[in-house]
Structure 1
Amino acid sequence: MDAGRARFGWLDHLARAGGRYQRTQGDLMAAGVTYFAFLALFPVLLLVASVIGLVIAGDELLQRELYTAIRETFPGALGRRLVEQLSGAIDSAGVVGLIGLGGFLYAGLRTMDKLRVGMERIWKGRVDEPEFLRDNVQDVVALVALGAVGVASLGLTGVVTQASSRVLDFLDLADEPGYGVLTWLLGIGLAMIGDVVVFLWLLRVVPGVDHPLRRLLPGALFGAGGFEVLKVVGGYYLSMISDSVTASAFGGAVGVLVWINLVARFSFFTAAWTATGLEAEETSEPSPRPDGDEQPAGDPAAASR
């Protein structure tokens, strides 16, 4: 292993990043992020149900069509029970929305708090002194920014992918070999742009470090690439269990929980990888001359002094 690290710089970099990750208890910090991030999914579902309820509440025709579809899909007592539950949810959509918003703010802020503390430990080896007002304001801004960037990235990827597919259909090229892969790669590339922005924010703003963005860009690219791999693996897993009702019910929740944990672990490892890389660069840089005159090596003028 030592011989491999001495020969391959990238392997040594990964090993040093892994050591930093272990010393700062990255797995433990990722577990905290996972718990509150998974908990935040439930109030998000309440918010979605509330929005749907508010939209349906003003359209009786849409309500009747939805109720009819439910009765046809679930005949008998089960269908009637589902219609009653949905009708009650529509009537109380406002209350459900407030509960969902409160739960999301609590779980979301706790998620950002755990993420910030973990990033501070990895970058600085310690946690900054807590300040209730400053920390909560910072976490609210971070939560809103992360949500906005995530939604914008997903929306841009979806719009461009759909537009590309329609253009290919219009040109009668949709069935040609290679164009489907091209559209998929285009979507991945656009998603990577959003991921890079998110990881730049994770690496600089969340831990409160002052490194220039250009020096953090390699770490952001490393994180964005790994995150896309995790998304592809997660999508493949969901497609595997989608054909089974039982697997979807239990495997879906477990799969989401495991996926969130993997993303949290990889995010902290990316921070460790970036931090160790910057430290190696600073160590390898030549120290300035005492008089401030940094003469290049091999300069004849320097040799004659």
Structure 2
Amino acid sequence: MDVLARLDTYQRRHRWAGLPLAVAYKFYDDQAAYLAALLTYYGFLALFPLLLFLVAVLSSVLNGNPEVQQALLNSALREFPVIGDQIVHNIRSFHGSPFAVAVGVAGSLYGALNVAQAAQHALNKIFAVPRHARPDPLRSRVKGLKFLSLLALGLCVTTVLSTAAESAVGLFGARLAVGVRVAAVIGAVLINAALLMASYRVLIRRRLPLRTTYGAALAGACAWQLVLWGGTYYVGHVLRGATATYGLFGIVLGLLAWLYLGALIYLVTAEITAVRWMRLWPRSLLSPFTDRVHLSAGDQRAYRSYATTESFKGFEKITVHFDPPPHADTREHPHADAGEHPHEDTGEHPDGDGRA
């Protein structure tokens, strides 16, 4: 116990150790892995019809410009390395088909709206928005449409950026190719980071300060770029030369894994932002494992927010009281509870939305 007490004291005093631990504990408390699975499920339903619809529309609009059409398709589908490569190689099978357009519209609308709803639910839970403060079903779907518009805008911007980079490489030659590609990657990372921050503003009923969001958003955008490269490697090296049956299962499983990783990155980025904004650290090292522990101020704020998040009505009053822990050894943290004695919840929240 002396070793655990020393580790606990150390991580409470050092931000580089205490902050990641608090993020991991909140990720577990919020059941974010299940929220990511929900995002993956609806994303899987929406992604292929959406790409089908995109290809059909581009095929119809740019029917007289096959070179421009192919360049745009290659650039757009590069953002979806697992399934995009298959669509590029089988584009003639649904070239401009009205049936593809109909299937794409219906499937994309159903799946995409539910992706937006799942993302909105996850973020509201992570940022402790009380249920009574969340938008009603109609307004939440309007917010979902705004969120989808952001994603579409981001895809268009990154597509134009990628197409311009490829054109610049062909124009200036191999000497500047590396510099142009590096600039394109940096631009894509910055755009994705801006999209992350914009999605928080659209989907969450909180006003988050920029200083608490940009660092995590930039890290999330870099992680997403690594996932894109990993998906490209997976298609080019694992699925190349695979049999039809293995290739089919490889595509489906690879797509699910790719979507799940993307959902995890999105939610972990949100968890980091929430922990910093709501000051949910440092946490007690043993708080998820036993009741025989002295809760830190971060623990108390976290458990208090979980309770107030479940209030369904604005006039519903919720109080949280922390009794002394049973049989806890006060010698383990003789200084940790200074100013952190058990008390009732004041209901205060960083933006004043809490209820006592």
Q: Would you call these one fold, judging by a TM-score over 0.5?
A: yes
The residue aligned with 1:223 is 220
Task: Figure out how many residues of one structure are paired with residues of the other and give that number.
Answer: 248
The residue aligned with 1:269 is 268
Which aligned pairs between 1:1-305 and structure 2 lie closer than 5 A? 1-2=7-8, 5-6=11-12, 8-48=14-54, 50-51=56-57, 54=60, 93-124=97-128, 126-127=130-131, 128-164=133-169, 166-169=171-174, 173=175, 180=178, 182-246=179-243, 247-280=246-279
**Are the equivalent residues in 1 in contact too, given 2:23–2:271 (CA < 8 A)?**
yes
How far the C-alpha of 1:241 sits from its partner, in A, is 2.1
How far the C-alpha of 1:45 sits from its partner, in A, is 4.3
TM-score normalized by the length of structure 2: 0.61
SS of the residue corresponding to residue 112 of structure 2 reads: helix
Distance 1:133 1:40 in 2: 20
How far the C-alpha of 1:99 sits from its partner, in A, is 2.9
Tell me the alpha carbon deviations over residues 76-124 of structure 1, each in whole angstroms, 9 at most, x when there is no partner: xxxxxxxxx95xx67x933431232021111100000000100010011
Distance 2:18 2:123 in 1: 22
Distance 1:52 1:97 in 2: 11
How far the C-alpha of 1:223 sits from its partner, in A, is 1.5
Return structure 1 stretches of 4+ with deviation > 6 angstroms. 55-59, 281-284
SS of the residue corresponding to residue 208 of structure 2 reads: coil
- The alpha-carbon distance between structure 1 residues 250 and 271, as it changes in their structure 2 partners (threshold 3 A), is same
Q: 241-250 or 216-225: which moved more?
A: 241-250
How far the C-alpha of 1:207 sits from its partner, in A, is 1.6
- The alpha-carbon distance between structure 1 residues 4 and 151, as it changes in their structure 2 partners (threshold 3 A), is farther
Q: Which runs of 5 or more structure 2 residues have no equivalent in the other structure? A: 1-6, 66-91, 282-296, 299-356
**Are the equivalent residues in 2 in contact too, given 1:30–1:265 (CA < 8 A)?**
yes
**Are the equivalent residues in 2 in contact too, given 1:49–1:93 (CA < 8 A)?**
no
- Over the aligned positions, Cα root-mean-square deviation in angstroms equals 3.1
**Are the equivalent residues in 1 in contact too, given 2:57–2:101 (CA < 8 A)?**
yes
Higher helix share: 1
Distance 1:185 1:4 in 2: 40
TM-score normalized by the length of structure 1: 0.71
Query: Based on CA coordinates, which of the two structures has the bigger radius of gyration?
Result: 1
- The alpha-carbon distance between structure 1 residues 212 and 260, as it changes in their structure 2 partners (threshold 3 A), is same
Q: Which runs of 5 or more structure 1 residues have no equivalent in the other structure? A: 60-84, 285-305
Distance 1:197 1:225 in 2: 12
